[in-house]
Structure 1
Amino acid sequence: MQGEIAQLSSELEQLDDLREGYARVRAKILGYRQAGMRVPEELTLLEKNLVAECMAASQGRD
């Protein structure tokens, strides 16, 4: 799991659109939930950080 999350984080750094990154993280979280697995804390934190970044960008604070 750690390697998978690290890979996702690396991919997110390459994206120009924060919303696309958020969509990828949400999809990964939903995948864990649908599989009946616990969502890793790192993934939950990543989602929260992306939400904050998206909000800041939408308000011109990026």
Structure 2
Amino acid sequence: MSSQMQGEIAQLNIELEQTDDPREGYAKVQAKIRSYRQAGTRVPDDLALIEKRLVAECMAASQGRD
């Protein structure tokens, strides 16, 4: 993974920590994943893991388990 990707993911993590709504964070992660795919770039594993974590958080919140 390039240092630019690492920096982008680190910045995204900071943004995710500053939001209380997992749906907002999930939307940001989805937008970043979409941008990688549109550019023809492989989605970094770290970003895919963040996406999975946020899906679980969104599901828990929707079921009142947050």
Interval of TM-score (by shorter of Structure 1 and Structure 2): over 0.9
- Aligned equivalents of 1:6 and 1:13: distance in 2? 11
Identical columns (%): 77
Q: CA RMSD in A?
A: 0.6
1:28 and 2:32 are equivalent in the alignment: yes
> TM-score, length-normalised on structure 1?
0.95
Consecutive unaligned residues in structure 1, runs of 5 or more = none
Alpha-carbon distance, 1:34 to partner: 0.3
Consecutive unaligned residues in structure 2, runs of 5 or more = none
Q: Deviation above 2 Å: which 4+ runs of structure 1?
A: none
Q: Quote the residue 1:8 is aligned against.
A: 12
> TM-score, length-normalised on structure 2?
0.90
Aligned residues: 62
